[in-house]
Chains A and B, each alone.
Chain A
Amino acid sequence: MNTSEARYGGGVTLLLFVFIFLPLLAVLINVIFPGLFFGQIQSSSLGLIGDIFHRPLWKQSLLNSVTLALGTATFGTIIGGVLATIRARWNFATARLLDMTAWVLLIAPSFMIAQGWVLFASADGLVHQWLGLTWVTSFIFQPAGLVFVMSLSKFPLAYLAIMAASEWNIRQFGYAARLNGAGPFTVWRTVELPLALPSYVAGWTLVFMDSIGDFGLPAALATVYKFPTLTYSIYSAIYQSPVRFDMAGVLAFYLVLILVLAMTLLMVTLRKSRFDFLNARAVKMEKVKPRFAWMYNLSITVFLFLSLGIPIGTSAAVSLLKQAGGGLNPGNFTLEHYRELFAGQAGDHRLLGYLEGMYHSLAIAAAAALFSMLIGFVVAYMLTFTESKLKPMLQLFSIISLAVPGVVLGIGYIFIWNQKWLEPLGLHLYGTPSLLVIAGIAGAIPYAVRVQLGAFGNLSGTMLKAAAIQGASIFERMRDIVLPMVRQSLLIAILASFGTSVFDLALASMLKPANYSLMPLVIDRAFEFSRYGYATAATVVSCGTVVLIIVLLQAAGRLVFRWLDGNRKR
């Protein structure tokens, strides 16, 4: 291990510590010493920890969060499992469409999906006016209905996890069972399910963790239906009065506790259930054309319409209507809401200026994506090619923020960066856009690291050693050997982190600087002020813009890479 590697390693470890681990630590310290971050040292005797069981609001939040997450995880895994099984076994026309939908839902911000559902199903929503189905409202706005809505948008996590495992053909075990007289269901129950179980548990846990940390759904519901969850109560403890920072920290602590439990479950299951069925006889699953292909196509189409069509279609429809309650007639169609977006002046409220908010959001997300990619690159390099002592720490830090919801990260950042003594150092970052960039980096790091680890895995270390012997510095080795090999996945990592951090409502809500508009907040606020046309038009334009940017950058990347290769060959 030489000094320059140690330098890089120490640097990124420190950055990850400050960006990711420190805020989390602050949340935990706050439980033991509430007031520490406000300049008063008082030990709490942990009395606050118990408060959650006395105060109805917090008790209800905990209960709601757990119910919602358990329900969504279970229902979402069932949906994901069924779809993955069908997708792996059969060959039918809408399969590609299904994959695409899964990815779209994975990236789509939950508050937009939830807003679509609210506009669709609320008492004065489209379902009433267009279809006259009054039962939908009472069905959706109750815990079971929310589980249903949430499952429809979170199932891709389970679907992709299970898909990855169902690629392998393990028929021979099934045949053996059938020869011994087992029926098809018994085969599934006793052979296929146990083999697939780890992937199901992994899917379940992922959906659970994502749902319990979700801030978008309760935020979108807040105006129409009382459903306090832990994440929303953390936010309201900070942004409503009476203000309870100490309690926000405690609620965050509970949230982290639940997530740790979920992760432990995941680890244990993965360790316990190892079947080495992938032996020399393993073959990839052959996809067969099913007998009733049209049935599959029809049901998948209906399902996709339900999960993606309703929320997105509703938003698109509302953005084109003069009056959401005006019904479908030519006189009620308008592009006024779109015109308003670009008119620059948003009427009565300064923070509704869409263009400015979009510009800020894009700039912050771009900065966060770029920095997270750079840091992720060095981290992945350290983890793959060096024997640094810091490796376990890097591993831990880079995976932590995947499990920590934005709301928790946000409260931790407030604790850390709102200290008076930072002012003379010029590091009092609370209430500045810089903190949003840092938070964006923290959120994007796990993705950046994962994607690049995957790419680095195919590289052999011998080339690097050879280069080192020839006297190439660590920077040169990174630039001339690793970078050209992994540039494609690097680009994907950047685009993925960019796409997710643009829409991050939780961090934007928690860390919003004064008078600084951000696109997710503009949409959320417009929704809160019941300006549905404006909110939905902003949603449509934002999604379109981000998709366009990603597609263009990918195309540009391809061209640049080709040009670089052309230059090399000469």
Chain B
Amino acid sequence: MNKKRGFKHGIFIALTALMLLLSACAQSDGQQTVRSKETTGPITSGSGSTAGQSDVSLTSDNAEDTGETIYLYGNDFVDFIAPKFMEETGFKIEAVHYGGGEALAKIEAEQGNPQWDVLMMDGHGSVRNLADRDFLLTDWEPENLGNLSENGRSYVPEDFAYFPIGIHAAGVIAYNTTLVTPEKAPTTWEQFFAYDGPVGHADPAVAAPAYPLVSAFYEQWGVEAAEQKYEQRFKKGLHVYPKNGPVGKALLSGEIEVAALQEHNAYELKLAGEPIEVIWPREGAPGSLRVVAISKHTKNPAAAKAFVEYMLKPETQQMLTSQDSTDSFFTPLVEGVSARSEREPNGAFMLPSAKWASEHEVEIKTWFADQNVR
């Protein structure tokens, strides 16, 4: 009898210790970050934990402000844009900077209990995929949607699951001028795949713009033909790097002679005076569409919607295109915003439909990862 009671007692003590430990940790987490005067880290257990999901059915005119901080997951601009948004609207926002594949993975991991409110990333196919699986808030039309250019409007999905912000080249042809003469350099994607020498690009499993790159080829040539082309390309020498930064580095070091490189990395190297030349292929560069979407379970609908409206304002987009950093290399999709002058002004884009890119996403990424180890 006694023993049993002792054991129960033990459990009680252990649990109390556990709770103490956790709340101790929770308290240690209200640290000031270096950059913004915001507390970091999601709200943890113990002190001031969040209420459960409020599953309020939302309509466009009833976006309630719960006062909660919203979490923005994204791969570019997020660190820069969050404080600006906060300044302008007064809503509290915490930006979380991920790689593209990482952001998708996090959203997947949190599906039982989403921690994010707004997502802004490259690759409308992946975001479409999230929408099809009911992760996103749909059927709400932002007031600023009218600001979009004609081109931008054509990318808006019927169910308003996400909203286009800008488009940039997921890959242009970049070559090392010390190793490749202009005559030898490929000017079309066909030539790129046939190029005699090592080439490279980023990994679609990791880098956000790399799936748009690969999927554009697949859609252009059809899945089977594209797979054949890639198989041959792997045989001839195709180096796949986790992200575009290392691709650029490899191009400089001569490990690869030609790369399908994201445009801002390519222009960055060229502008820095490195021996790199950029070609925007005639048939178009695979486009990476940057979109913004709201979580179905957002804890503060008002703030999340305000963020979308904010991203669709011409002033915001102009601010992004006039940044010093190379992230500003993109075609803004809001009317009346000028893009950077160093870019190819009339570059065409190859962009698979969101539906196509979403349906083939898992298949293409899986096939690619498996090819890549052979």
| Contact residues in A for B29 (Cβ distance below 8 Å) | 432-433
- Top 8 nearest A-B pairs by Cβ distance? A10-B10, A6-B6, A3-B6, A426-B45, A434-B25, A11-B14, A11-B10, A432-B44
Give the docked Cα–Cα distance between A1 and B373 (Å): 58
Chain B CB within 8 A of A530 CB: yes
| Contact residues in A for B44 (Cβ distance below 8 Å) | 429, 432-434
Known contacts A344-B34, A350-B79, A426-B45; 18 further A-B pairs (Cβ under 8 A): A10-B10, A11-B10, A14-B15, A15-B14, A38-B112, A56-B370, A123-B253, A241-B126, A243-B108, A355-B34, A367-B21, A367-B24, A367-B25, A432-B25, A433-B29, A514-B96, A515-B41, A530-B245
Chain B CB within 8 A of A67 CB: no
B253/A124 in contact, CB under 8 A:
yes
Chain B CB within 8 A of A249 CB: no
Query: Given the known A-B contacts A241-B101, A514-B42, are A345 and B35 also in contact in the complex, defined by CB atoms under 8 Å?
Result: yes
Give the docked Cα–Cα distance between A12 and B41 (Å): 29
A14/B10 in contact, CB under 8 A:
yes
B25/A433 in contact, CB under 8 A:
yes
Chain A CB within 8 A of B155 CB: no
Q: Which of B22, B46, B206, B255 contacts A123 (CB 8 A)?
A: B255
Q: Mark A19-41, 1 if CB is under 8 A from B, else 0.
A: 00000000000000000011100
* Shortest Cβ gap from B256 to chain A (Å): 11
Q: Interface residues, chain B, CB within 8 Å of chain A?
A: 2-3, 5-11, 13-15, 17-18, 21-22, 24-26, 28-29, 31, 33-35, 40-42, 44-46, 49-50, 52, 71, 79, 94-97, 100-102, 104-106, 108-113, 115, 126, 205-206, 211, 240-243, 245-246, 249, 253, 255, 325, 361-362, 365-366, 369-374
Q: Which of B6, B126, B211 contacts A4 (CB 8 A)?
A: B6
* Shortest Cβ gap from A417 to chain B (Å): 10
Chain B CB within 8 A of A192 CB: no
B14/A14 in contact, CB under 8 A:
yes
Query: Given the known A-B contacts A8-B10, A515-B96, are A226 and B17 also in contact in the complex, defined by CB atoms under 8 Å?
Result: no
* Shortest Cβ gap from A8 to chain B (Å): 7
Q: Mark A421-434, 1 if CB is under 8 A from B, else 0.
A: 00110111111111
A353/B34 in contact, CB under 8 A:
yes
Residue of A nearest to B11 (CB): A14
Give the docked Cα–Cα distance between A38 and B133 (Å): 14
Query: Given the known A-B contacts A6-B10, A10-B7, A434-B26, are A243 and B105 also in contact in the complex, defined by CB atoms under 8 Å?
Result: yes
Residue of A nearest to B106 (CB): A514
- 10 interchain pairs, CB-CB under 8 A: A10-B8, A14-B10, A228-B373, A241-B105, A241-B361, A418-B113, A420-B112, A423-B113, A426-B49, A433-B29
B111/A239 in contact, CB under 8 A:
no
A10/B246 in contact, CB under 8 A:
no
| Contact residues in A for B96 (Cβ distance below 8 Å) | 514-515
A238/B109 in contact, CB under 8 A:
yes
Chain B CB within 8 A of A272 CB: no
A348/B325 in contact, CB under 8 A:
yes
Chain B CB within 8 A of A167 CB: no
| Contact residues in B for A253 (Cβ distance below 8 Å) | none
A241/B104 in contact, CB under 8 A:
yes
A513/B105 in contact, CB under 8 A:
no
Query: Given the known A-B contacts A56-B370, A418-B112, A433-B25, are A10 and B11 also in contact in the complex, defined by CB atoms under 8 Å?
Result: yes
Residue of A nearest to B97 (CB): A350
| Contact residues in B for A528 (Cβ distance below 8 Å) | 242-243, 246
Which of B42, B46, B50, B255 has the most CB atoms of chain A within a 10 A radius of its CB?
B42
A420/B113 in contact, CB under 8 A:
yes
* Shortest Cβ gap from B3 to chain A (Å): 5
* Shortest Cβ gap from B24 to chain A (Å): 8
Give the docked Cα–Cα distance between A223 and B21 (Å): 37
* Shortest Cβ gap from A392 to chain B (Å): 16
Q: Mark A126-169, 1 if CB is under 8 A from B, else 0.
A: 00000000000000000000000000000000000000000000
Q: Which of B49, B100, B246 contacts A530 (CB 8 A)?
A: B246
A3/B17 in contact, CB under 8 A:
no
| Contact residues in A for B113 (Cβ distance below 8 Å) | 418-420, 423, 428
Q: Mark A528-559, 1 if CB is under 8 A from B, else 0.
A: 11100000000000000000000000000000
| Contact residues in B for A419 (Cβ distance below 8 Å) | 112-113
| Contact residues in B for A349 (Cβ distance below 8 Å) | 79, 97
Give the docked Cα–Cα distance between A356 and B17 (Å): 28
A516/B41 in contact, CB under 8 A:
yes
Give the docked Cα–Cα distance between A516 and B40 (Å): 7
| Contact residues in B for A18 (Cβ distance below 8 Å) | 18
Give the docked Cα–Cα distance between A420 and B52 (Å): 9
| Contact residues in B for A428 (Cβ distance below 8 Å) | 45, 113
* Shortest Cβ gap from A562 to chain B (Å): 31
Residue of A nearest to B365 (CB): A242
| Contact residues in A for B33 (Cβ distance below 8 Å) | 350, 353, 356, 515
* Shortest Cβ gap from B365 to chain A (Å): 5
* Shortest Cβ gap from A377 to chain B (Å): 13
Residue of B nearest to A54 (CB): B370
Chain B CB within 8 A of A236 CB: yes
A223/B110 in contact, CB under 8 A:
no
Give the docked Cα–Cα distance between A431 and B71 (Å): 13
Give the docked Cα–Cα distance between A57 and B365 (Å): 12
* Shortest Cβ gap from B253 to chain A (Å): 5
Give the docked Cα–Cα distance between A15 and B31 (Å): 28
Give the docked Cα–Cα distance between A423 and B46 (Å): 11
Chain B CB within 8 A of A328 CB: no
B3/A1 in contact, CB under 8 A:
yes
B109/A418 in contact, CB under 8 A:
yes
Residue of A nearest to B45 (CB): A426
Q: Which of A9, A424, A514 contacts B52 (CB 8 A)?
A: A424
B112/A432 in contact, CB under 8 A:
no
Residue of A nearest to B239 (CB): A226
A10/B41 in contact, CB under 8 A:
no
Chain B CB within 8 A of A70 CB: no
* Shortest Cβ gap from A386 to chain B (Å): 12
A240/B105 in contact, CB under 8 A:
yes
Give the docked Cα–Cα distance between A84 and B185 (Å): 58
Q: Which of A1, A236, A424, A426 contacts B205 (CB 8 A)?
A: A236
Chain B CB within 8 A of A222 CB: yes
Give the docked Cα–Cα distance between A513 and B110 (Å): 12
B10/A514 in contact, CB under 8 A:
no
Residue of A nearest to B35 (CB): A350
Give the docked Cα–Cα distance between A355 and B32 (Å): 12
* Shortest Cβ gap from A534 to chain B (Å): 14
Residue of A nearest to B32 (CB): A356
Residue of A nearest to B42 (CB): A431
| Contact residues in B for A367 (Cβ distance below 8 Å) | 21, 24-25
Chain B CB within 8 A of A245 CB: yes
* Shortest Cβ gap from A284 to chain B (Å): 45
| Contact residues in A for B100 (Cβ distance below 8 Å) | 241
B17/A15 in contact, CB under 8 A:
yes
Query: Given the known A-B contacts A241-B105, A420-B112, are A513 and B49 also in contact in the complex, defined by CB atoms under 8 Å?
Result: no
B110/A418 in contact, CB under 8 A:
yes
| Contact residues in A for B14 (Cβ distance below 8 Å) | 10-12, 14-15
